[in-house]
Structure 1
Amino acid sequence: MDRRRPRSFYPLAAFFGLFLLFLYGPTLTIAILSFQGPTGGLTFPMRGVSLHWFHDLFQQQAVGDIWGSFRRSFALGLMVMVTTVVVSVMGGLAFRKRFAGSGVLFYLVVTALVIPSILISLGVGLIFNQTGLDVHWSTSGFGSQLTWTLPFGLLIMFAVFNRFDKSYEEAARDLGASPWQTIAHVVLPIIAPSLIGVALFGFTLSYDEFARTLLTAGSRNTLPLEIYGMTTNVTTPVIFALGTLTTVFSFLVIGVFLATVWALNRRRARAGSDAGKGMV
């Protein structure tokens, strides 16, 4: 059997390498520049190597509210995550059966993905202003971001329930389980990895969302808005240090979610193995 790679492999591999460099090059550049020495600037060449700017990041800043904006983004991300998971599961269960207006409702939900984000932000902000409600990150910002995360969550749940084996539910009902017991003890444990995926989508999409929060956050910025504001008046690598830490935090969040999925799958495999041994 000839295992030699075709000639097309090498130009395609080079193209893929350039794509990765284009995708991650800016992030790597920011990470490198964040380790500038105390006299370093925002560009190359580097003037020494140190952790000075990371230390400076934790000091009182002359401009911006870094840690306040981080707490707001984190809290908003958790709110959006929980709401996205709950509504997506409820929507996925509802769409398993046809009901009047289901098609129209589906397209209304998906339409939110194609409407320009800045128009969503402007529209939600105007609604709150016209109705006399305060424009605040926890209300108008929360609602605006849900128009971004819910369609993704619903589409994932539609795919999950489309291939869900209903025989598990039928077996639970035959054993006397109520509808709520069937959902709690059969359906949710089976789709738990997918729910974690929806939660990850909800949190990460909210955590770094800029356009849909721009006109709906009110007077207190979320972290993306704060970083954008800092680019106009911060002239030291401290902003690079902030970018590096937020990137590391994002990867940690993704790692926690992936580890949870791995643990659930391993637990399910162990339970299946134990059940098989019991039958033998």
Structure 2
Amino acid sequence: MKSWSRILLWLCLAGVLAFLYAPLLPPLILAVRDPTTGSITFQNFGAIHSDPTLVGALTNSILLAAIIGVTAPLLGLAAAQAVRSFGVPRLIVTVILLPLFIPGVSMGVSTSLFFSLTGIDPSILTMATVQTLWALPFAFLIILTVMSGFDMVYLEAAYTCGATRAQAFWDVELPQIAPGISGAAIFSVILSFNETVRTAVVQGGNNTIQTFIWSRYQQVGLTPNMYALMSIIIAVTLLLILVLVALGRQQDPET
């Protein structure tokens, strides 16, 4: 009876996973399909560079992902340190997590209006700002969770040995929480590369790959080279998620 229950449980899990991930299959199939003959081909991947607008959008996405992958974890680390050091942890947590509860369109429009009133033209900077606001809460939560497992007795021992606060953090705490910071950076890169709504409002004449794909889909539909690029994005995202899982296991080897 127990074996049948286990089989039923696995079948239910497989059904849920199939329901969740089946929508990822059409782009993968269309990416290797010749639109004329219907045969399998990999020329669509080679044709990605033939669209200069698409290449420009991809370049912007990579640049933004690199910026957010650095700024969001650094700000998240500073905020997590503030939670531990200052006497108002709930206030700090509330302020950092606030962007999670503001609708994406409202956040984008408000940020765009602020830039307009201050005379700041749409650019990579404005796009990076709104994406940092979106990624920061997640980076903060990841780092704060890792820091909660750090034993403060190590810092006390470092202080006793004459280390300054900066030295104790750099030599003692940072190596132990580094996997969490790396995980926050990877998660921030994923969020940046896949963000659409907030970025579209503040991008002006610029494009990221996601806003370009969305606008092209709305206007004229997608081309085979765009399906190929979407397939690459899906594959890279899944790979980064596997890296996140590996970092989690490194942080907690007992699991």
Task: Judge same fold: TM > 0.5, yes or no.
Answer: yes
- Higher Cα Rg, which structure: 1
Tell whether the 8 Å contact from 1:230 to 1:239 is kept in structure 2 after alignment. Answer: no
Q: State the partner residue of 2:232.
A: 245
Q: State the partner residue of 1:134.
A: 121
The 1:92/1:25 distance shift into structure 2, 3 A limit, reads same
Whole-angstrom CA distance in 1 between matches of 2:140 and 2:239: 25
Q: State the partner residue of 1:111.
A: 98
Tell whether the 8 Å contact from 2:179 to 2:248 is kept in structure 1 after alignment. Answer: yes
The 1:260/1:19 distance shift into structure 2, 3 A limit, reads closer
Tell whether the 8 Å contact from 2:68 to 2:132 is kept in structure 1 after alignment. Answer: yes
Q: In structure 2, list runs of 5 or more residues that go unmatched.
A: none
2:129 pairs with 1:143: yes
Whole-angstrom CA distance in 2 between matches of 1:95 and 1:105: 6
Aligned AA for 1:85?
Answer: P
1:239 Cα deviation after fit? 2.2
Q: In structure 1, list runs of 5 or more residues that go unmatched.
A: 41-46, 267-280
Residues 196-249 of structure 1 show CA distances to partners (whole Å, capped at 9, x for unaligned) of 111111111111101111101111111100111221324532221121122223
> Matches of residues 207-218 of structure 1 in structure 2 within 5 Å?
207-218=193-204
Structure-2-length-normalised TM-score:
0.88
How many residue pairs get matched? 252
Q: CA RMSD in A?
A: 2.4
1:87 to 58, 75, 81: 75
Whole-angstrom CA distance in 1 between matches of 2:181 and 2:10: 35
1:150 Cα deviation after fit? 0.9
Residues 49-79 of structure 1 show CA distances to partners (whole Å, capped at 9, x for unaligned) of 1113222223246xxx111111111111111
1:261 Cα deviation after fit? 7.5
Bigger CA drift: 229-238 or 107-116?
Answer: 229-238
Whole-angstrom CA distance in 2 between matches of 1:79 and 1:236: 29
Structure-1-length-normalised TM-score:
0.81
Whole-angstrom CA distance in 2 between matches of 1:7 and 1:181: 58
Whole-angstrom CA distance in 1 between matches of 2:139 and 2:205: 29
Q: State the partner residue of 1:271.
A: none
The 1:249/1:241 distance shift into structure 2, 3 A limit, reads same
Tell whether the 8 Å contact from 1:38 to 1:53 is kept in structure 2 after alignment. Answer: no
2:69 pairs with 1:72: no
The 1:224/1:235 distance shift into structure 2, 3 A limit, reads closer
Tell whether the 8 Å contact from 2:179 to 2:250 is kept in structure 1 after alignment. Answer: no
Whole-angstrom CA distance in 1 between matches of 2:138 and 2:251: 22
1:189 Cα deviation after fit? 0.4
Tell whether the 8 Å contact from 1:196 to 1:261 is kept in structure 2 after alignment. Answer: no
Q: State the partner residue of 2:44.
A: 53
Tell whether the 8 Å contact from 2:159 to 2:168 is kept in structure 1 after alignment. Answer: yes
Q: Give the secondary structure class of the aligned counterpart of 1:139.
A: helix
The 1:192/1:67 distance shift into structure 2, 3 A limit, reads same
2:33 pairs with 1:36: yes
2:190 to 179, 204, 222: 204
Structure richer in helix, relative to its length = 2
Q: State the partner residue of 2:167.
A: 181
Whole-angstrom CA distance in 2 between matches of 1:193 and 1:66: 34
Aligned AA for 1:18?
Answer: G
Q: Give the secondary structure class of the aligned counterpart of 1:220.
A: coil
Whole-angstrom CA distance in 2 between matches of 1:33 and 1:122: 35
